C-alpha cells in the first residue's frame, strides 16, 4: 500500500472517533492520573485529528506530512500523560503546545547538508521517529544499535548509516530571561541572518503558545509586561495595574508566580 493510501486510511479511521466533551476530558484525565492506560489511549485517539491539523501547518519545511504527524503524536502522548484535568483549560489547548513543540524539535533536528537517495531519506526519517519514541520509552538517548535493531537494520550497516545522519544537538527549553527582549529581536530580524530570523520568530511563537496554557489574567500580565504582542511596548507594573484593576504589588506577585509556573512547565517538556 502506498504512503498516500496509508495516510488516507489513517485519516478515515481517526475521523470516526467521537470528539470529547469537557467533562469527558476531565474524567479521562483523572483516570490517567490513577494509571489507567485505557483512559490514556481513549484521550489520545480522540485527539489524533488535532495532531493532523497542526501538522499541516508545518508542511514544506523538510518533513513529510506522515513524519510531522508521527512527531506530533509523540507530543500528544506526553500531553495526555501530563494533563491536569483541574487546571481549567481544555485538553486541545494544553495538547497543542506539546504537539507543536514536538514537531518543532523534529524540524530543528532535521539537517541534511547533502543530497541523499530517496530510499535513504525515507530510512533517515524512520530512524529519527523511532529514535524519539525509544528515547521517551527508555528515559534516555538510545544507542545506534538500539535504534537500528528496532528498525531491523543489519549490524554491518550501522556504522555507514550513522555517518549519513545529520543531527543537531540542542535544548527544547527556553529561558524566560529572553522574554523582555524577544520582541525587539524579532522586529530587528531584517538585519539578522536567515537562520537567526527563523529562530527569533519561532521563539516568539513558542512564547505565545505557552501563554495559552495558563490563566487568562496571568497571560495578559506577561504580555503587557514584556511586550509580547505586536506593536506593544513593555509596560510598567503600575501601568499594568491600571489595565487589569490590581495594585502594583499584586501585579508583581502574579508576574513572579506565573514565571515560576512557566519554568516548571518547560522543565517537564
pLDDT in tens, 177-216: 333 333 333 334 333 443 444 444 555 556 666 676 677 8
pLDDT at 267: 53
HSE-CB at 267 with a 13 A cutoff on CA atoms is 6
Residue 253 clears pLDDT 60, i.e. is over it: yes
Between CA 64 and CA 151, with CA 6 as vertex, the angle to 5 degrees is: 70
Distances in Å between the alpha carbon of 134 and those of 7, 53, 110, 138, 150?
23, 25, 17, 6, 9
Residues above pLDDT 70, as percent of the chain:
63
CATH topology for the 118-172 domain: Arc Repressor Mutant, subunit A (1.10.10)
List Cβ neighbours of 221 (8 Å cut-off, separation of 6 or more): 240, 244, 251, 254, 255, 258
**How many CA atoms, within 13 angstroms, populate the side-chain half-sphere of residue 161?**
23
Tell me how far the alpha carbon of residue 204 is from its chain's centroid: 14
Q: Tens digits of per-residue pLDDT, 77-87?
A: 999 999 999 88
Residue 259: which pLDDT band, with cuts at 50, 70 and 90?
A: confident
Give the separation between CA 130 and CA 199, rounded to whole angstroms.
26
Copy the grid coordinates of residue 240.
499594568
pLDDT computed for residue 239 by the predictor? 86
Distance, in Å, from the CA atom of 28 to the CA atom of 34, rounded to the nearest integer, reads 10
Q: How far is the C-alpha of 80 from the C-alpha of 41, rounded, in Å?
A: 9
CA distance 80 to 46: 11
Distance of CA 180 to the CA centre of its chain: 22
Q: Write down the pLDDT at residue 88.
A: 80
- Mean pLDDT along residues 90-101: 90
Model confidence at 133, pLDDT cuts 50, 70, 90, reads confident
Band the pLDDT of 16: cuts 50, 70, 90.
very high
- Asked whether the domain spanning 176-267 has the same topology as the one spanning 118-172, the reply is yes
Into which CATH architecture does domain 3-108 fall? Up-down Bundle (1.20)
CA distances from 29 to 33, 106, 246, 267 (A): 6, 27, 34, 21
Mean pLDDT of the 83-92 span: 87
Does pLDDT of 258 surpass 50?
A: yes
- From the list 204, 184, 246, 191, the residue with the least C-alpha distance to 221 is 246
Give residue limits of the domains in the chain.
Answer: 3-108, 118-172, 176-267
pTM of the model: 0.48
Distances (CA, A) of 168 to 112, 140, 151, 157, 165: 10, 17, 21, 22, 10
- Domain 176-267 sits in CATH 3.90.1150.10: no
Amino acid at each position: 500500500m502506498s504512503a498516500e493510501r496509508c495516510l488516507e486510511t489513517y485519516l478515515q479511521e481517526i475521523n470516526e472517533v467521537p470528539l470529547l466533551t469537557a467533562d469527558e476530558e476531565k474524567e479521562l484525565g483523572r483516570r490517567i492520573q490513577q494509571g489507567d492506560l485505557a483512559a490514556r489511549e481513549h484521550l489520545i485517539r480522540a485527539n489524533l485529528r488535532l495532531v493532523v491539523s497542526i501538522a499541516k501547518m508545518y508542511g514544506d519545511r523538510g518533513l513529510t506530512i506522515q513524519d510531522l504527524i508521527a512527531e506530533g503524536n509523540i507530543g500528544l502522548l506526553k500531553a495526555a500523560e501530563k494533563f491536569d484535568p483541574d487546571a481549567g483549560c481544555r485538553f486541545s489547548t494544553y495538547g497543542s503546545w506539546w504537539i507543536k513543540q514536538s514537531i518543532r524539535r523534529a524540524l530543528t533536528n532535521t539537517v541534511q547538508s547533502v543530497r541523499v537517495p530517496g530510499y535513504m531519506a525515507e530510512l533517515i526519517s524512520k530512524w529519527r521517529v523511532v529514535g524519539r519514541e525509544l528515547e521517551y520509552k527508555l528515559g534516555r538517548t538510545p544507542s545506534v544499535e538500539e535504534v537500528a535493531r528496532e528498525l531491523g537494520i543489519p549490524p554491518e550497516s550501522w556504522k555507514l548509516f550513522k555517518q549519513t545522519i545529520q543531527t543537531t544537538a540542542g535544548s527544547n527549553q527556553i529561558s524566560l530571561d529572553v522574554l523582555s527582549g524577544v520582541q525587539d529581536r524579532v522586529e530587528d530580524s531584517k538585519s539578522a541572518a536567515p537562520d537567526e530570523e527563523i529562530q527569533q520568530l519561532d521563539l516568539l511563537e513558542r512564547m505565545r503558545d505557552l501563554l495559552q496554557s495558563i490563566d487568562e489574567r496571568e497571560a495578559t500580565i506577561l504580555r503587557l509586561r514584556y511586550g509580547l504582542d505586536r506593536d506593544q511596548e513593555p509596560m510598567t507594573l503600575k501601568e499594568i495595574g491600571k489595565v487589569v484593576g490590581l495594585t502594583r504589588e499584586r501585579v508583581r506577585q502574579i508576574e513572579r508566580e506565573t514565571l515560576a509556573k512557566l519554568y516548571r512547565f518547560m522543565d517537564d517538556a
